[in-house]
A and B are shown apart, each in its own frame.
Chain A
Amino acid sequence: MKPAAFTYHRAHDVADAVGLLTDLAAAGEDPKIIAGGQSLMPMMTFRLARPSALVDLGPLRRVPAMTAIREEAGALTLGALVTHHAVETATLPAGFAVLARAMRWVGHLPIRSRGTVAGSLVHGDATAEWCLLALLLDAVVVAEGPGGRREIPADELFHGFYATAVEPDEVVVEVRFTRPAPHAALTEFARRHGDFAIVDAAVALDLDGDRVTGGRVVLGGVAPAPVRVPEAEAVLAAGGDAGDDALVAAVADAAATAIDPPDDPQTTATYRRRLTRTLVADACRQAAREPQR
């Protein structure tokens, strides 16, 4: 279908974008930001989204900080308009290389060439790879609104079912990943490669030599928002040998048991649970093999 009518406004810098959002809302409009548009446009063509005004961040690609990828003080900062494909092709420090490896799961090349990191996070799809990676690597979303800038940690970002803590009058400026994870992996299952995942799993292992001393387990597609699974992380924290199949099975079992996944006729809760067990185990094994030398 064709999207419903809207008015179009170009933002020339971040302050301009915030001003446009504020002014349009004050005038009774229902403005929304468009950046890459790769999630928003399908929602508009299905008329699941009908914003009365769009504020285009496209011209902000000329602002270097908005498309920069930089490492400082052990954290990796991505400008809000960095695309998935830019991350896919970037040479990242070992602690953040999982971001580049995970990009092959994000849609297809034409989607990755336009879609943005911040756009995916703000869209808040429960299976979106960036949402899992944000929880895996303790992302901090920096948003600018009428009252200035504020920082939103990933564990406060997702409110469930396409809802995030970013307010309608705020513009995400950058996303900072603060927890390096050299031994990490993301994997997923979809019926067709590049489709939305039914379930996806990300694992980061804390290793001391070959010994697991802790880690993170993050799942998408099992709840209205991406979730960490403390029960599975507790198994990792209890320790063990990274190559031990029994440890991997225990982590996967803990994750599959802890969740209460949605149940629908196409994809039953039982199926999602089995996928979870398989994917968490795969992610554990892949994470233990990283970084590949």
Chain B
Amino acid sequence: MSHPVNDPHLLTLSVNDAEHEVVVEPRRTLADVLRHDLRLTGTHVGCEHGVCGACTVLIDGAPARACLVFAVQAEGADVRTVESLARDGELSDLQQAFGDHHALQCGFCTPGFLMLAEGVLAEQPDASREDIREALSANLCRCTGYQTIVDAVHATACSRRGTNA
């Protein structure tokens, strides 16, 4: 290691149903541990102070900014990242809907929006389009203008509950 580690902690993190042992200093955010230590680079880091939502992951099922959680705080919790969505090379219904509805252009914000939407739809399966708009206001996208992201999440909500969008 090229720099001294201050107060190293040995952690066992549960990420996407796998246990990972890492040695990190407490100042390391969960976002940085996911990316640099676990090489799960799907989680993106934008503003690093909780405004943009690009680093959103699920912690015990609830959407959370991974830049606003120290990795040491996440020990014992169930962390899910965007890498957990696709199964056997098949996109999840939500990911497919993002493609179908043109809900991404550059894609930088997409992992955060996907995990935010996963958390919201799990907690509120009956979410209305307005509920979805309100929840998605947590994250920033500079390409799409948001309408298509709302479309994709709303379509997923409708198909999961067996109704038409």
B-binding residues in A (CB < 8 A): 1-8, 34, 37-38, 41-42, 45-46, 54, 56, 58, 85, 104, 108-111, 113-114, 193-194
Q: Is the CB of B64 within 8 A of A110?
A: yes
Question: What 4 additional pairs, Cβ within 8 angstroms, besides A54-B26, A109-B116, A110-B138?
Answer: A38-B65, A45-B49, A108-B137, A193-B137
Q: Contacts A38-B68, A54-B26 hold; do A5 and B135 have CB atoms under 8 A apart?
A: no
Residue of A nearest to B4 (CB): A5
Closest CB-CB distance, B76 to chain A, in whole Å? 8
Q: Contacts A46-B49, A109-B135 hold; do A7 and B6 have CB atoms under 8 A apart?
A: yes
Q: Contacts A56-B72, A85-B62 hold; do A6 and B50 have CB atoms under 8 A apart?
A: no
Q: Contacts A38-B50, A58-B73, A85-B62 hold; do A110 and B56 have CB atoms under 8 A apart?
A: yes
- CA separation between A8 and B29, bound complex, in Å? 13
Q: Is the CB of A37 within 8 A of B27?
A: no
A-binding residues in B (CB < 8 A): 6-7, 9, 25-27, 29, 32, 48-50, 53, 56, 59, 62-65, 67-70, 72-73, 116, 119-120, 134-135, 137-138
Q: Contacts A3-B27, A194-B137 hold; do A110 and B53 have CB atoms under 8 A apart?
A: yes
Chain B interface, DSSP helix/strand/loop, else mixed? mixed
- CA separation between A194 and B69, bound complex, in Å? 19
Which listed residue, A5, A56, A108, A194, touches B27 by the CB 8 Å rule? A5
Q: Contacts A6-B26, A110-B53, A110-B138 hold; do A56 and B63 have CB atoms under 8 A apart?
A: no
Q: Is the CB of B48 within 8 A of A194?
A: no
Q: Is the CB of B63 within 8 A of A109?
A: yes
Q: Contacts A110-B116, A111-B50 hold; do A7 and B137 have CB atoms under 8 A apart?
A: no
The 4 closest A-B pairs by CB, nearest first: A108-B138, A8-B26, A113-B62, A5-B6
- CA separation between A109 and B135, bound complex, in Å? 6
Q: Is the CB of A37 within 8 A of B70?
A: yes
Q: Is the CB of A42 within 8 A of B50?
A: yes
Closest CB-CB distance, A68 to chain B, in whole Å? 18
Q: Is the CB of A45 within 8 A of B26?
A: no
Collect the chain B residues with CB atoms within 8 Å of residue A41's CB. Answer: 29, 49-50, 67-70
A-B pairs with beta carbons under 8 Å apart, 10 shown: A5-B25, A37-B68, A37-B69, A41-B69, A85-B62, A109-B120, A110-B53, A110-B138, A114-B69, A194-B137
Collect the chain B residues with CB atoms within 8 Å of residue A109's CB. Answer: 63, 116, 119-120, 135, 138
Q: Is the CB of B68 within 8 A of A2?
A: no
Closest CB-CB distance, B18 to chain A, in whole Å? 22
Chain A interface, DSSP helix/strand/loop, else mixed? mixed
Q: Is the CB of B63 within 8 A of A113?
A: yes
Collect the chain B residues with CB atoms within 8 Å of residue A42's CB. Answer: 49-50, 68
Q: Is the CB of A114 within 8 A of B68?
A: yes
Collect the chain B residues with CB atoms within 8 Å of residue A45's CB. Answer: 48-49, 67
Q: Is the CB of B64 within 8 A of A114?
A: yes
- CA separation between A108 and B113, bound complex, in Å? 13
Q: Is the CB of A8 within 8 A of B53?
A: no
- CA separation between A194 and B50, bound complex, in Å? 12
Q: Contacts A41-B68, A42-B50, A110-B138 hold; do A2 and B27 have CB atoms under 8 A apart?
A: yes
Q: Is the CB of B69 within 8 A of A8?
A: no
Collect the chain B residues with CB atoms within 8 Å of residue A5's CB. Answer: 6-7, 25-27
Q: Is the CB of B27 within 8 A of A110?
A: no
Q: Is the CB of B9 within 8 A of A110?
A: no
Q: Is the CB of A8 within 8 A of B68?
A: no
Closest CB-CB distance, A169 to chain B, in whole Å? 21
Collect the chain A residues with CB atoms within 8 Å of residue B73's CB. Answer: 34, 37, 56, 58
- CA separation between A203 and B25, bound complex, in Å? 46
- CA separation between A158 and B157, bound complex, in Å? 44
Closest CB-CB distance, A171 to chain B, in whole Å? 17
Closest CB-CB distance, A8 to chain B, in whole Å? 3
Residue of B nearest to A108 (CB): B138
Closest CB-CB distance, B37 to chain A, in whole Å? 14
Closest CB-CB distance, A103 to chain B, in whole Å? 12
Collect the chain A residues with CB atoms within 8 Å of residue B29's CB. Answer: 2-3, 41
Residue of B nearest to A193 (CB): B137
- CA separation between A5 and B134, bound complex, in Å? 36
Closest CB-CB distance, A213 to chain B, in whole Å? 36
Collect the chain B residues with CB atoms within 8 Å of residue A85's CB. Answer: 62
